[in-house]
Amino acid sequence: MNMDSNSEITSLRNQVFTLLVALIVVSGTVTVYLYRQASILGKDLNASQQLINSFNKGQPAVASFVNQLGAYSMAHPEIRPVLAKYGIIPAATQPNLTAPAAPKK
């Protein structure tokens, strides 16, 4: 019986060692994968921030261009349907937000 128990203990030790090596390999693989994902995500985040910054820098130029289009449409009414198609309403043709004054008697 002593011989069987020694062989079982040895077999269990070998199995535990094999499982330990497998655990270390799997843990290392997952660690490398997560590190790569974090690195890629960091690069994507930097690229997104640069894109947002360049968009924000261009906003005043776009607003100025839209205002110039509105001013141009005041002298050239034939362009107003094109501007209306894209949602650009010149300032002078926008509906008046205040109520008109009552006529004086």
Q: What is the pLDDT of residues 54-94, one digit of tens each?
A: 999 999 998 899 889 888 888 888 988 999 898 888 765 55
Classify residue 55: in a domain, yes or no.
yes
Q: What is the pLDDT of residues 6-41, one digit of tens each?
A: 999 999 999 999 999 999 999 999 999 999 999 999
Classify residue 105: in a domain, yes or no.
no
Classify residue 103: in a domain, yes or no.
no
Task: Give me the number of domains the chain comprises.
Answer: 1
Residues in contact with 72: Cβ distance below 8 Å, sequence separation at least 6, in sequence order? 79
Classify residue 104: in a domain, yes or no.
no
Classify residue 68: in a domain, yes or no.
yes
Classify residue 97: in a domain, yes or no.
no
CA-nearest of 29, 31, 27 to 39 is 31
Classify residue 60: in a domain, yes or no.
yes
Classify residue 79: in a domain, yes or no.
yes
Q: Give me the domain span that covers residue 6.
A: 2-87
